[in-house]
């Protein structure tokens, strides 16, 4: 990987000694568990087997979700990120900081992964381990191989949202359109074109059953849409309004849990929202302090100390630091047993 090609400069990161609280954010010292899996044991036969980082073998979508007042938000020592984060196969969390990609392990050891990258928005890994990034500096979508090679997949898009789809194609939104891009050829097609009844596409993600592509927007009413999809992930109709009032309408991330609930940070309101699979909007956390406002939403892998029941979010206004929010529910692609999922009914 890049660390062996470019050279990894590791630096220790010393956590604070004291626990502090601020509104619904609860910070704690996790130094006694650094480098270990953070998922707790629920007891009985529901304990996960192996090094999964999760305490769940099944998820019941009829069970209540964690209440906003019970949210636990932890600093992720050593990690850095600007508008997006990814986890690699070697146990690192990776994000943009000081014009470079930084990587950190769960013990807080961190350093430069790839230098001279400029400013990046969101990013993802391809199945073969190549890294794809949306460059805010150049407006390009770039593909980096593990040997250090680089290919420009698209120019002039100025994308913000970027993710790998279940069909191994890239999906991106650039505050104007939603594109699907072949990462091998660079060929692209427009899935959603421009204005969505008062908003433009900014962030994207799929429903767990892949029948919808959710679209967070720039809009004046916090609108979220979805594009209906057929079994080949092609549009099966026009975009439809899904939820209104998800903040003031400046969506900086979009995560979807295994039960189909959406998690969307909104810059205008400095808040993190949860939207149920039925489109009901709930404020999870809000702060008047800009430095605490997070961006892109990434679930942990369940390996190497990264909890797959938690989301990890970069704080670009707080020196690109990263926080972890324990939701007690995994990502939409989780491979455990899911009971009473909305799409099963």
Averaged pLDDT, groups of 10, the chain, 345 residues long: 36 34 29 32 35 68 94 93 96 96 95 93 96 95 89 95 97 96 96 82 97 94 95 95 95 97 96 96 89 94 95 96 96 94 83
Q: Is residue 70 part of a domain?
A: yes
Q: Is residue 26 part of a domain?
A: no
Q: How many domains does the chain have?
A: 1
Q: Is residue 126 part of a domain?
A: yes
Whether 304 contacts 285, CB under 8 Å = no
Q: Is residue 270 part of a domain?
A: yes
Q: What is the pLDDT of residue 238?
A: 93
CATH code of the domain containing 206: 2.120.10.30
pTM: 0.85
Residue 169 φ/ψ, nearest 5 degrees = -100, 160
Q: What is the pLDDT of residue 195?
A: 67
Q: Is residue 35 part of a domain?
A: no
Q: Is residue 40 part of a domain?
A: no
Boundaries of domain holding 191: 2-14+54-344
Helices (H), the chain: 2-6
Query: What are residue 101's DSSP bridge partners?
Result: 96, 114
Residue 69 φ/ψ, nearest 5 degrees = -70, -15
Q: Is residue 174 part of a domain?
A: yes
Q: How many Å apart are CA 70 and CA 245, to the nearest integer?
A: 23
Query: What are residue 110's DSSP bridge partners?
Result: 11, 104
- Give 214's contacts (C-beta < 8 A, 6+ positions apart): 204, 205, 206, 207, 224, 225, 226, 242, 254, 256, 262
Q: Give the full edge-to-edge strand order of the sheet including 131-135.
A: 120-125, 131-135, 141-144, 150-154
Q: Is residue 197 part of a domain?
A: yes
Q: What is the gyration radius of the CA atoms in the chain, in angstroms?
A: 19
Of 176, 175, 139, 171, give the one whose Cα is nearest residue 154.
139
CA dist list (Å): 111 to 8, 78, 129:
6, 8, 20
Q: How many Å apart are CA 228 and CA 242, to the nearest integer?
A: 11
Query: What are residue 216's DSSP bridge partners?
Result: 203, 224
């Amino acid at each position: 990987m890049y660390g062996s090609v470019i050279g990894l400069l590791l630096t220790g990161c010393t956590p604070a000694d004291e626990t502090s609280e601020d509104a619904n954010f609860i910070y704690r010292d996790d130094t006694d568990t650094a480098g270990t899996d953070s998922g707790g044991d629920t007891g009985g036969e529901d304990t996960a087997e192996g090094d999964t980082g999760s305490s769940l073998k099944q998820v019941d979508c009829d069970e209540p979700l964690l209440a906003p007042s019970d949210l636990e938000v932890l600093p992720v020592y050593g990690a850095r990120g600007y508008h997006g984060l990814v986890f690699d196969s070697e146990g690192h969390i990776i994000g943009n900081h000081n014009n470079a990609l930084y990587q950190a392990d769960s013990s807080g050891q961190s350093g430069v992964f790839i230098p001279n990258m400029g400013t990046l928005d969101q990013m993802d890994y391809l199945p073969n381990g190549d890294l794809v990034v949306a460059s805010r500096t150049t407006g390009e979508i770039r593909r980096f191989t593990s040997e250090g090679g680089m290919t420009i997949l698209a120019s002039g898009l100025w994308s913000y949202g970027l993710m790998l789809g279940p069909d191994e194609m890239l999906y991106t939104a650039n505050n104007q359109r939603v594109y699907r891009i072949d990462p091998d050829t660079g060929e692209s097609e427009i899935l959603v074109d421009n204005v969505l009844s008062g908003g433009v596409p900014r962030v994207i993600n799929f429903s767990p059953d892949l029948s919808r592509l959710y679209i967070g927007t720039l809009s004046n009413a916090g609108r979220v849409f979805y594009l209906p999809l057929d079994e080949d992930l092609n549009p099966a109709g026009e975009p439809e309004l899904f939820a209104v009032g998800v903040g003031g309408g400046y969506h900086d991330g979009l995560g979807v849990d295994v039960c189909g609930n959406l998690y969307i940070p909104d810059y205008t309101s400095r808040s993190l929202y949860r939207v149920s699979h039925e489109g009901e909007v709930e404020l999870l956390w809000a702060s008047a302090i800009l430095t605490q406002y997070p961006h892109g939403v990434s679930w942990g892998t369940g390996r190497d100390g990264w909890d797959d029941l938690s989301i990890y979010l970069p704080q670009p206004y707080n020196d690109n630091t990263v926080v972890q929010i324990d939701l007690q529910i995994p990502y939409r692609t989780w491979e455990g047993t899911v009971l009473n999922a909305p799409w099963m009914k």
